[in-house]
C-alpha cells in the first residue's frame, strides 16, 4: 500500500484544483447498468472506470458504495477500481461508502478492510448501532 496524504489534505487540494465540491458516487446495480454491457467482473470494472474517466476533471472526490459491489460478489472489482483511481487520478480522494458502525473490536476490523484491503482514503460510518447497544 502506497503512502497517500491524509484525507483532509487530499480533499482540500482537490477542492481547489477542481473548483467544485461535487462528489460522484459509483453504485453499480442492474437497474443502472447499460443493457449492452454484461453485468460481470469485466463489465462492472469497464463501466465504473468509464464513469471515473468521464468525471475526473469535474469532481473533488469519488465515492463507491461497498454494498453495491459486495452484494454481487464484486469486491475484487471494487479493489481494482480504487487502485485505478489512485493510479490514474492520484489527487482525487476515494471514499468507501460502507456506513459501518459497531463495537470497538469490530470497528477496528472494518477500518482494516477499508484502509488496508481497499486502500480507501475515507470511509462512511454510522454512529448509531441500535437501541440495544
Block residue for cell numbers 472526490: 61
The angle, 0 to 180 degrees and rounded to 10, between the axes of the packed helices 75-88 and 41-55 is: 30
> Which residues are known catalytic residues?
99
What is the full DSSP assignment across 51-95?
Answer: HHHHHTTT-SEEEEEHHHHHTTT-HHHHHHHHHHHHHH-TTS-EE
Amino acid at each position: 500500500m502506497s503512502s497517500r496524504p491524509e484525507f483532509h489534505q487530499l480533499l482540500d487540494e482537490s477542492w481547489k484544483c477542481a473548483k467544485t465540491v461535487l462528489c460522484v458516487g459509483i453504485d453499480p446495480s442492474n437497474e443502472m447498468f447499460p443493457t449492452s454491457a454484461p453485468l460481470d467482473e469485466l463489465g462492472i470494472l469497464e463501466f465504473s472506470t468509464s464513469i471515473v474517466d468521464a468525471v475526473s476533471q469535474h469532481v473533488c472526490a469519488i465515492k463507491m458504495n461497498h454494498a453495491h459491489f459486495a452484494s454481487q460478489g464484486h469486491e475484487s472489482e471494487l479493489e481494482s477500481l480504487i487502485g485505478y483511481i489512485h493510479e490514474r487520478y492520484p489527487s482525487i480522494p476515494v471514499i468507501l461508502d460502507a456506513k459501518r458502525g459497531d463495537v470497538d473490536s469490530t470497528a477496528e476490523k472494518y477500518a482494516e478492510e477499508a484502509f488496508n484491503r481497499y486502500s480507501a482514503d475515507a470511509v462512511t460510518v454510522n454512529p448509531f448501532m441500535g437501541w440495544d447497544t
